[in-house]
């Protein structure tokens, strides 16, 4: 029997070990790509993660009796969402472990006990202590190269979670299609064509010399389309402006599109280049030299031909009318030009509970390419388990 030791991450040496452990675990797996360390560490710094102003987080390493690191995990409480469940619910994430159920159980037990001591009655995993679109879910199908900041793990992780008692709370699908292949379903195309032919509707890609305007448009659409979802905070203009300023550094403007009705903003579809295609040899380090390499590969050498759907939204008054398809037709007009370098589009983090968004991506003839699972563990085994509630109308 192996004797395992838990070590809390409290200093720089243990943090470095916690960050680097996955690189050791996946050293023989060509699909693994280490995320930028700074994107992970900021989640556990008050200056980088506003959730820590009222929330809590902890990290552990796990060593065997030979003092070899065999696992890691983090546990956290987001006070904004902990109460937005049938029971107070915390989270565990950044779980990586050898294929050993006893080792995994030690990590899960540590997280569960820590959360119970703070009044939680359930635990979601493996999730992020921050935005849902990063570091969220356990990969259970589609073991290919991950897109930027999406989790990748070995197939045995599914068994480690389920053997401990976690249950499938919801699936997160990644849909994929070739930019040049296929089109729209007949039903979607018919509605989209009517919208495109209506002079009251207009569509345009972002212009960086009009950031103030597009920040305002983004804020209006986001707050009407996404702000109605429990747990989603409304954006301010300053926040929207900050997001666009960050995007401007790397985002190809041909990947950000807005829709208008009589000049008023009603929809957006924003994609990003998949940076994982060009950072695989960075080993998580975004130093000054690697920043130069990134920009060279992205802007000059055009080493990226895969794009990711980042965010899509339509205000409620214009949902179901064909605006989604019209946005895609507008994008297609640009994507079919000879100098368009991108060949593949992946749209990740589409929950199985989000029926409207599933209809949107299936309407553009995208197919499920990968599946991640968000698991939930109820600490009281007698309490009935319920999966995430389905959304009948939300974004489209």
Give the integer Cα–Cα distance in Å for 124 and 115.
Answer: 11
Which two three-digit tokens encode residue 184? 């729209």
Give the integer Cα–Cα distance in Å for 80 and 131.
Answer: 12
Percentage of the chain beyond pLDDT 70 is 97
Q: Taking the CA atoms of the chain, what radius of gyration do you get in angstroms?
A: 22
Which residues are CB-neighbours of 222 under 8 A, at least 6 positions away?
235, 240, 268, 311, 313
Mean per-residue pLDDT of the chain: 93
From first CA to last CA, the distance across the chain in angstroms is 54
Q: pLDDT of 22-80, one tens digit each?
A: 999 999 999 999 999 999 999 999 999 989 999 999 999 999 999 999 999 999 999 87
pLDDT of residue 152: 98
pLDDT of residue 377: 98
Of the pLDDT bands very low, low, confident and very high (cuts 50, 70, 90), residue 396 is: very low
Domains of the chain: 5-171 (3.40.630.30), 180-342 (3.40.630.30)
pLDDT of residue 394: 44
Q: Could you tell me which residue, 31 or 348, shows the higher pLDDT?
A: 31
395 has a pLDDT exceeding 90: no
Phi, psi of 296 (to 5 degrees): -65, -50
Of the pLDDT bands very low, low, confident and very high (cuts 50, 70, 90), residue 2 is: confident
CA dihedral 108, 113, 119, 123 (to 10 degrees): 10
What is the average per-residue pLDDT within 205-224? Answer: 95
Of the pLDDT bands very low, low, confident and very high (cuts 50, 70, 90), residue 227 is: confident
Q: pLDDT of 141-198, one tens digit each?
A: 999 999 999 999 999 999 999 999 999 999 999 999 999 866 788 888 899 999 999 9
86 has a pLDDT exceeding 90: no
Q: By the 8 A CB rule, do 76 and 55 touch?
A: yes
Omega prior to 126 cis, within 30 of 0: yes
337 has a pLDDT exceeding 80: yes
User: ∠ CA(264), CA(268), CA(272), 5° rounding?
Assistant: 150
pLDDT of residue 131: 83
372 has a pLDDT exceeding 60: yes
pLDDT of residue 182: 62
What is the average per-residue pLDDT within 318-342? Answer: 91
Give the integer Cα–Cα distance in Å for 165 and 112.
Answer: 12
pLDDT of residue 231: 58
Cβ neighbours of 271 (radius 10 Å):
22
Pairing of strands 69-77, 167-178: unpaired
Across 65-69, 114-118, 335-339, 376-380, least confident range: 335-339
pLDDT of residue 393: 52
Q: pLDDT of 251-302, one tens digit each?
A: 999 999 999 999 999 999 999 999 999 999 999 999 999 999 999 999 999 8
């Amino acid at each position: 029997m192996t004797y395992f030791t838990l070590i809390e991450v409290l200093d720089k040496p243990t943090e470095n070990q916690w960050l680097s452990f996955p690189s050791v675990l996946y050293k023989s797996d060509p699909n693994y790509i280490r995320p930028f360390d700074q994107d992970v560490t900021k989640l556990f710094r008050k200056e980088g993660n506003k959730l820590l102003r009222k929330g809590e987080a902890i990290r552990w390493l796990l060593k065997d009796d030979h003092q070899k690191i065999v696992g890691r995990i983090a546990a956290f409480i987001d006070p904004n969402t902990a109460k937005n469940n049938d029971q107070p619910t915390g989270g565990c994430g950044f779980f990586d472990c050898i294929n050993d159920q006893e080792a995994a159980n030690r990590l899960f037990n540590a997280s569960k006990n820590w959360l119970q001591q703070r009044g939680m009655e359930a635990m979601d995993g493996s999730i992020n202590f921050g935005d849902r679109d990063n570091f969220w879910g356990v990969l259970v199908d589609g073991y290919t190269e991950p897109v930027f900041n999406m989790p990748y793990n070995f197939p045995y992780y599914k068994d480690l979670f389920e053997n401990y008692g976690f249950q499938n709370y919801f699936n997160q699908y990644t849909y994929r299609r070739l930019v040049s292949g296929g089109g729209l379903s007949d039903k979607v195309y018919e509605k989209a064509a009517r919208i495109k032919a209506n002079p009251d509707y207009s569509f345009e890609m972002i212009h960086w010399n009009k950031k103030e305007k597009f920040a305002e448009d983004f804020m209006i659409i986001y707050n009407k389309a996404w702000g109605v979802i429990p747990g989603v905070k409304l954006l301010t203009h300053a926040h929207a402006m900050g997001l666009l300023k960050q995007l401007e550094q790397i985002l190809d403007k041909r990947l950000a599109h807005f829709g208008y009705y009589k000049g008023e903003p009603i929809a957006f579809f924003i994609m990003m280049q998949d940076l994982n295609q060009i950072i695989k040899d960075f080993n998580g380090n975004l130093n000054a030299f690697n920043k130069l390499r990134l920009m060279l590969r992205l802007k000059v050498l055009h080493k990226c031909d895969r794009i990711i759907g980042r965010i899509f939204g339509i205000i409620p008054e214009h949902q179901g009318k064909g605006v989604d398809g019209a946005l895609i037709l507008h994008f297609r007009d640009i994507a079919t030009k000879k100098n368009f370098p991108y060949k593949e589009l992946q749209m990740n983090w589409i929950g199985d509970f989000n029926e409207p968004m599933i209809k949107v991506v299936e309407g553009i003839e995208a197919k499920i390419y990968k599946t991640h699972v968000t698991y939930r563990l109820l600490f009281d085994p007698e309490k009935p388990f319920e999966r995430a509630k389905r959304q009948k109308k939300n974004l489209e």
